[in-house]
Chain A
Amino acid sequence: MNNLHDCRKAFARTLLELAEADARVVAVVNDSVGSSNLKEFRKKFPDRLINVGIAEQNMVGIGAGLANGGLMPFVCGASCFLTGRALEQVKVDLGYSRSNVKLCGMSSGVAYGELGPTHHSIEDMAWTRAIANMTVIVPADPAETSAALRAAAAHEGPVFLRLSRMPVPDIHPADYEFRIGRAGRLRDGSDVTLIANGVMVCRALEAAALLEKDGIEAGVLNMSTVRPLDTQAIAEAAMTGPIVTVEEHTVVGGLGSAVAEAVVESHPVRMRRLGFPGEFAPTGSPEFLFEHFGLTPEKIRLAALKVVEESARVICAVDPRG
């Protein structure tokens, strides 16, 4: 992969642009000015950068209060602490209250690598998508990060943006139009559909290219909004064949679960859910962990081949002429 980007740059640039255009925009941080790339924001808008110290419950509550007071806070912190530590505040002060607060979970997934499971945020999609009124977005590249941030600002209500620091290539054009709740079809294919979000989208695209050499036509769906879910796009994918989901998250409750829920209620097909298999990760860099848990293009390819084969066997068993 060439020309890789840290999406936090697009995040910081877009937040600054939003703040320039809208006086309601403020940033709230838990001593995370550096890790959220907000030094420029602080320089330009010192009074609109609110540092609450290392106190995530308070940070989310303060976000709700700032919104009550007429502002539009972007509450930024490492996703593991922002969601896990403050989950009740996310549920009550944001979701239940329908507060106009934008949660920006930085360095989600296993971006912190060797720092270990305390710093991995591989449950945040499951937690946040279970909360009513929440919108949950997992962008895949700089253009989508930027577009998702703008869409979140335009949306009245709580949004969780699950952001990453992991290097990713450009997938979308700069003028890409993002719509909350609409999946992006990045590649057509009639044999199997790979559904991914976040940093796994580029890997799913690479896997699809490998599968083409195997004679398998794999479609790729970018399911960047996990709540509300684009159930129509999922149903359409299921009509064409089996599905493999790929997420930088535990397979319990995240993207794979969300897709499976939609599939069984629309058009049941064979599925494989790739992600972290419901266990805490061993020590290792993000790339090591992706390899270890089968989240590489090659492992995605193998999972797709397997599910295509199983699917064909099932069809043969059902149809004696097959």
Chain B
Amino acid sequence: MPEYDVIIVGTGHAGAFMAYELGSKGKKVLMLEAGPATPRHREDYMESFYLAGFKSPESPYPPDANNNQPRKTNAPHPTIQQLVFGWDNPEISYLTYTPGSLPFGSTYLKLAGGTGNHWQGTTLRMSKNDFMLRRKYQHGLDWPIAQDELDNHYAKVEAFMGVAGSTAEQLAARDDIPPSYQFPMPPIPLSLSDKYIKARVDGEPLTNEDYFTGQKTVVTKTPQARNSVPYDNRRVCHGNTNCVPICPIQAKYDAAYALGKALATGFVTVKYKTVVDKITVGEDGKISGLHYLTYDDISVPAKSGQTGQGTAAGTVFVLAASAIENARILLNSPWKTGMTVANSSDQVGRNLMDHATYLAWGLMPVNAPAYSYRGPLATSGIESLRDGPFRSTRASWRLELGNEGWNWAKGEPYAIGPDFLYGKNNGGLNNGGTNGSPQVLGNKSLLKALNGYLTRQFRIAFLVEQDAEQSNRVQLSPTETDNLGIPRPLITYNLSDYTRKGFISAKLATTEFMRRVGAQEYTQFDAGNAKQFTYDKQSFNYYGAGHVCGTHVMGSIPHASVVNYHQQSWDHSNLYIVGCGSMPSISSQNPTLTMLAVTSMTVDHILTRV
């Protein structure tokens, strides 16, 4: 008998939750984590964040996000810095690209807790129609799961994470949530600007598309895994406006916290700095082991490389290493002649998705400052317009109201100060001189400009649905490796017309939104940003939402999907491939909650086998 019942690759959201569930049932679990452990002092992460000149989502975490040398890093991951300073340069960018590909806008981490460290905490459920996008709207792919099968699992993971929300709000948002359901915690309060906006925006749909007949615009409180009361030994949110990259007080649930709970069961062991590179298959077609390489040095460039290797054996194997890394491991694992593990369908790596995000920003009226840069990054959104017959024509979107001013949009408040001292207009606000020229200000004039603009800044973000496409895919780079010699991902990424039409709709909705609020819109297309496309003669920038999905989609037909209803490989009965990579469609809701609910189903299935 193998020493471990279950081997899990990756300690992020899915892996940590699964390890806790299995460990608490007395199952022996070994976790293999490519990155380092959590430091003894969480303040070390905070210190890295405070001292980072570029406060990207990766800035608190190793390896150094400002020093991107993926060829010379033992377990590199994508960073926003790479996207900004050299997305198409393999010396800088961990992800490599095929010619003609657009940049993939999202990033992920490799360390204890994985990308679950810097998620925002939004926990919206998906709705019935989201699970049958193809059947209902003739786009994308269908799930083998119906939404109501997840009700109990949604409730379970909401209790595990600690979700603050209101059933009444979700019903107003047109969610398919049982009316009798009670969230674990009362909802997070709306921000001051949320309330002002809600009072003016609620009502008729934001666009005059016929499809919207009978639908209403409703700003609702966003359910989120953030404490509104003390919960599970964690504090209430103090509004650090820093959910991404890091909540300083862990009021936001994160996967590193779950990992701690998993370890506390006494049945879970973690090996850090242990990079799975290949999966081996036995004569019987079952997985026989996970081959891994070890290393010590997390610095960039690494002073040393591989320090050892080994093979982990267990009864059941789980890949929970994130969508792109799961595909990378599978594609790097030969099986039979000319094939790779779990890939008889040739679907591994395909259907890569994200929420392509349309950002819009403006200034609130002079008499109604937003007083942004306070509270969680977002406390409300417009969910009520996500679903309708229009989805036969264009992608769904949800609208998130931000609380962080123009931080995402323009890097504020770091643009405005230099702009008014150097007479520049990088932020778009310094045009009050003669004929709209920029000014140089000091003393009270400077203070007035800073206060007057910063307190009125707000942004909205439309998370636009991406439909699954065969051509959007992860392959292995034929030439580029990391410092351990493992091939790096080769990405082909584009946005379909369906998604691009969603951007057209979002732009129209923005105009009406700003009109109702009485706000002055400042949204600008940035030609210097590589994340751009043109549709219907309009140019758009898109941003990543951090929602890396697809790559090993679940389905009901073995030749058209990688895993089944249980996230179990069609090809290898003792291999489960879990995470957002299993999602065949992602609607416009942030995916972590649904991914965990599906993982909860998978845990139940594994428990019948070990």
Partners in one complex: no
